[in-house]
Amino acid sequence: MVMVLAFLLPAVAVTTAAATHDDHQNRGMGTVTFTQGAIISGPTVLNDHTTIVKVHETLSFTGSLAGTALTIERDVMHTLTDEGQKVSFTTFHGNGTFTGTLGNNQVSLHIKYEGVKNSTFARGNFVVSGDTSQNSDIHGEGHFRGTLTGGVEGGGNSTVGYTMHWHVSTHTEEPEARDNDRDTD
C-alpha cells in the first residue's frame, strides 16, 4: 500500500502544479446593450398575472468583452398588486453565440444569461465558455446591473454596465510526467 502511494503522489503533485500555474485570471468591465428582435413564439398568457414570450435578442458588448451575441431569450412577464399598487417585472434567460474579442483575443464563445428587469432597472448574471476547439479552455462569468437607458420593459433597447472575470486554462488534465515502468524493484 505504501509503495502504491509513493507512485501516485508525484503524479498528483505534477497535475496540481500544472493546473495552478497555467491558469490566467483576468478581470474586466464594460457595457452590454440588450436589443429585442423578432418574436419566436407567444405571447402566451398563462393567467391574469403571467405572460411568456420567446424572442431573438442581440447582446452588444463593449469593454473587456467586445462584440455581439445572437441569442434566444425566454421572457416571463409578471404583473402583481402590492398594497394596491400594480407592480410589473420580467424574469428572463437566454443563450446563444458570442463573436468578438475577450481581452484583445478574437473568440467565439457560448453565452448563457439570466436576470430580472422592470421599467427602470435590470440585473443578472452571465457565463461564457469556449465554443470551438481553439477556445475550449476559456471560461468566464459576470454580472450586469444598472438603470435602463431604453426604459422599455419587455422590448426596446437597454444598456447596463457589467463586470466579469475569466480564465484561460493552458494545461491538460493529464500529468506532465508519468512513470510507465512496470518493473518491480
Per-residue pLDDT for the chain (185 aa), expressed as one digit of tens each? 444 444 444 443 433 333 343 445 789 999 999 888 889 998 999 898 999 999 999 999 999 999 999 999 999 999 988 898 888 999 999 999 999 999 888 889 999 999 999 888 899 999 999 866 666 688 899 999 998 765 444 455 788 899 999 888 765 555 455 555 565 55
Under CATH, domain 26-169 is a member of which superfamily?
SO1590-like (2.40.350.10)
Where do the structural domains in the chain lie, given as residue ranges?
26-169
> SS3 for 88-122, per residue?
EEEEEEEEEEEEEEECCEEEEEEEEEEEEECCCEE
